[in-house]
Amino acid sequence: MPVVDRGRVAAALPGYGIGAELGSGAFGLVLAGYHQELDRRVAVKVLTSPDAAAEAGFRAEARLLSRLDHPHIVRTYDYVVRGDLCMLVMEMLSGGTLSRRALHPEAACAVGLAIADALAHAHAHGVVHRDIKPANILFSDSGQPKITDFGISKVMEGSASTASRVVGTPRYMAPEQITGDRLGPATDLYALGVVLYELFTGTRLAPAALPLPALLRHHTEVPPPPPPGVPAPLAAVLMRCLAKRPDQRHPSAHAFALDLARAATSVFGRNWLDRSGIPIHLGLDIRAVTTRRPSRLTGRRPPAGGAGPVTAGAGAVSPGRAGGSEGRIPVLVTALAVGLALVIGGGVGWAAWGRADPAPPTAPPPPAWQPVLATGTITAVFGAGSDGFSGDGGPAAQAEFDSVSDLTVDAARGVVYVADTDNHRIRRIDRAGVITTVAGNGTAGFAGDGGPATAAALDSPASVAVAPDGTLFIADKDNHRIRRVSVDGIITTIAGQDAPGFAGEVSDDGLLFAGDDLPAVNAKLDYPNTVLLTADGSLLIADGENNRIRRISPDGIISTIAGTGGSGFTGDDGPATAASFSYPCALARGPDGSLYVVDQDNYRIRRIDPAGVITTVAGTGHKGFSGDGGPATSADINTIGADVEVDAAGTVYLSDPGNSRIRRIGPDGIITTLAGTGVSEYSGNGGPALEAELVYPGGLALDAGGNLYVGDAVDGRVRAVRVR
């Protein structure tokens, strides 16, 4: 494992904060970084090998990348050498590698177009990548695919170049890379064809169990099998890419992109690219193909300068005739097997932020911020323990917060979102443990719709929810609005108006309500404090002073699912729509689809079952502390500022802020204390949670590893308790 003195890296890069390690390889590693003046997250690739050839290759990569400027190629910001320390400052791509993504067919085609367009740009600048593979295709936070790792790229001299050594990842190597023949744009197209073959079929081009010599022979001699289940137009494009001879493949990456766009449009219909869900930037000629009617694409002529479309399997040549290299392949394969066995895991190059190929793990490694704890123990994970605002771009453990109201774990991306309420921001802790602001400029107010969320004004945001695609929903409490931050960072309002209240007249008893069944953006809210996404894409809102639970359907229409609007306590064992609340302030889903509600000023936790019937599951209606070891419905709790979470077993976790405790209600209805002594202090890290002191525990979030995260609204910290 490479060892790097991070102090030296930080000293060599003034103005940058240096964070956790993101990945490593044979010649170096990649560190998270943050440019403080530009408010920019970066990845710092550090060469640690003393080998002179490695240093030359590293410098060559920097020079190559400086020549390339394309939306689907990783951006390079700086190359710095300090003594024997070489550093490449690059764009941070934290959306993971292609090897970790399962894409539907339209999305796979969109990624193929993006990579082909990027290769066309590189080839036009005389650069052949030579190691296209899923681990070298990374995604930005917004889902934009980009080629990375140009560490073994080759500058073409004239029309092509001959490799001085065999480099690449065997699973994706073109025949001419194996035989030592001349390399060119077609070399990258073969590798892209293998990548797309795997994406389209879910299987490898060559059997996974093949030893290295047999794998190399497979690439040079064995005709590729037609891709099973792939429509004929797309199969034809793939098979042409996989031809053994370079001159039988597409003449250029641009020609391939046009052919793929035509084939995909004939299969998926016009405008399929807009439905793919992949943000890509293409030339007008390629994009235009995806918007034409399929009937106009049939009977097309072959692209100029190349052979016409082929049927599945037609691109293969007979064994022993790949590139005119008859009689050489067995000797080359034997010789190459020894050398390539050293790099079979991921090629000679090493992938920034990715892991070595070929076999991706079934699950990514745990985030750096996820603690390893024994069951029942507690530790601090985020926050310096003082009120304020600081730390963006650095470790979240050293950041300052001002009233942590809500926590949301985005397990798919390995990040945590924090509603930093009195800083008027939503902050994000990435997989490496680096914290940044994703919404709010720190000034209380309302401004910024239609622009970057980081430039917008929020007012006491109290809750954040994240959709599967990374879209954020924010309860902008004191603005009486729900705001949405798209995957490209643009903020808009989806519900609420300037003034709090209702969108219609309500009688004194609160039984008549005229604010439903209209677009949510036209409705009024009154201190909405919690947002919760449901499986069908609806958004639930705890509409605090309106004493209702409201629902925004996927089509944007708002309705009430619980509460009459009157403040009080009524309705148990009846329809939730006929019940009354007194400032509902937190929501959670149970494994059976039930909705749990913290009824704050009634000092109760209530449950709405899938049939819509409401009951009390904890609390007597009296503020206090009692009842541990007995039925939760007989226990006193203090729910001012409380939160609730429910795990897959149906266990309910309740923050009991006024009692400085976290309490747990088992599926049998018995309540106990999970953490806290009842003393409002800070102590106990590393020990039993029952012996730890908590100040004012509020927001809760569970992760998949059995940890419960607890935000302390007063203490400026987030702590974790292992609950199972």
Q: Residues with Cβ < 8 Å from 128, sequence gap 6 or more?
A: 122, 153, 154, 156, 161, 183, 184, 185, 187, 188
Q: How far apart are CA 434 and CA 716, in angstroms?
A: 17
pLDDT band at 713 (very low <50, low <70, confident <90, very high): confident
- Answer with the one of 268, 294, 320 that is the final residue of a domain: 294
3-state secondary structure of 48: coil
Locus of tokens 């007012």: 459
Angle (CA) 633-662-386 rounded to 5° is 145
Q: Is 132:188 a contact under the CB 8 Å cutoff?
A: yes
- Confidence at residue 372, expressed as pLDDT on a 0 to 100 scale: 86
Asked if residue 184 and residue 126 are part of one domain, the reply reads yes
Residues facing 712 on adjacent strands: 697, 717
Q: How far apart are CA 199 and CA 113, in angstroms?
A: 13
Q: How far apart are CA 480 and CA 543, in angstroms?
A: 9
DSSP run (H or E) holding 463: strand 461-466
Instruction: Order across the sheet with 40-47: list the strands.
Output: 16-24, 28-35, 40-47, 85-91, 76-82
- Confidence at residue 363, expressed as pLDDT on a 0 to 100 scale: 56
Burial status of residue 297 (CB atoms within 10 A of its CB: 0-12, 13-18, 19 or more): middle
What is the longest distance spanned by two Cα atoms in the chain? Answer: 94
Q: Is 377:686 a contact under the CB 8 Å cutoff?
A: yes
- Answer with the one of 66, 92, 118 that is the final residue of a domain: 92
| Tens-place pLDDT, residues 223-260 | 888 998 899 899 999 999 999 999 999 999 999 999 99
- Answer with the one of 92, 115, 137 that is the final residue of a domain: 92
- Confidence at residue 167, expressed as pLDDT on a 0 to 100 scale: 60
Asked if residue 116 and residue 64 are part of one domain, the reply reads no
Q: How far apart are CA 550 and CA 502, in angstroms?
A: 12
pTM for the full model? Answer: 0.54
- Confidence at residue 55, expressed as pLDDT on a 0 to 100 scale: 67
Mean pLDDT of the region 101-127: 91
188 is catalytic: no
Angle (CA) 273-275-280 rounded to 5° is 45
- Confidence at residue 681, expressed as pLDDT on a 0 to 100 scale: 92
- Confidence at residue 205, expressed as pLDDT on a 0 to 100 scale: 87
Predicted confidence (pLDDT) at residue 512 exceeds the cutoff of 60: no
Asked if residue 671 and residue 587 are part of one domain, the reply reads yes
- Confidence at residue 214, expressed as pLDDT on a 0 to 100 scale: 81
CATH number at 273 reads 1.10.510.10
| pLDDT-above-70 percentage for the chain | 83
Asked if residue 174 and residue 46 are part of one domain, the reply reads no
Which comes out higher in pLDDT, residue 24 or 375? Answer: 375
Q: Are strands 518-519 and 85-91 parallel, antiparallel or unpaired?
A: unpaired
Asked if residue 654 and residue 551 are part of one domain, the reply reads yes
Instruction: List Cα–Cα distances, 336 to 198, 245, 438, 500, 532, in angstroms.
Output: 25, 20, 49, 72, 56
Q: Is 646:653 a contact under the CB 8 Å cutoff?
A: yes
CATH number at 636 reads 2.120.10.30
Q: Which of 131, 181, 188, 259 is catalytic?
A: 131
- Confidence at residue 46, expressed as pLDDT on a 0 to 100 scale: 85
Q: Which domain holds residue 63?
A: 1-92
Asked if residue 710 and residue 567 are part of one domain, the reply reads yes
CATH number at 59 reads 3.30.200.20
- Confidence at residue 53, expressed as pLDDT on a 0 to 100 scale: 64
Number of domains in the chain: 3
| Tens-place pLDDT, residues 661-707 | 999 999 999 999 999 999 999 999 989 999 999 999 999 999 988 99
Q: How far apart are CA 549 and CA 589, in angstroms?
A: 13
